[in-house]
Amino acid sequence: MKFGHGLWKGENGEVYIGEWKDSKANGFGVHTWANGDKYEGEWKDFLKHGTGTEFFSNGDVYTGSYMDGMPHGLGQYKWYTGAIYIG
């Protein structure tokens, strides 16, 4: 197993900066997509997993728990309009 911290750049403009294990994002990291969306939080095998915050290019923000790349459990979604959902 190789552990470390580093930078990954995808062919389509994606960028990941954070912790690695076995050549995959594991631990804390920040991933920015080409469209401007960004996730700051925990990763497991290059999937959002644990707690984190996702900033969408339209101004929406989700903060909460993720499992296997998807929101899971308690979280808060705040739309750019100011409306908030907690659940």
* Residue ranges making up the domain that contains 67: 3-86
pLDDT along the chain (87 residues), means of 10: 79 93 93 97 97 98 97 96 96
Of the candidates 35, 34, 37, 43, the residue with the CA atom closest to the CA atom of residue 11: 34
What is the model's pLDDT at position 77? 97
CATH of the domain at 18: 2.20.110.10
What is the model's pLDDT at position 4? 80
How many structural domains is the chain composed of? Answer: 1
What is the model's pLDDT at position 31? 97
pTM of the predicted model, to two decimals? 0.90
What is the model's pLDDT at position 74? 95
Of the candidates 35, 25, 36, the residue with the CA atom closest to the CA atom of residue 66: 25
- Say how far apart CA 1 and CA 82 lie, in whole Å: 44
What is the model's pLDDT at position 86? 96
Q: Which DSSP string do the residues of 1-55 spell out, in sequence order?
A: --EEEEEEE-TTS-EEEEEEETTEEEEEEEEE-TTS-EEEEEEETTEEEEEEEEE
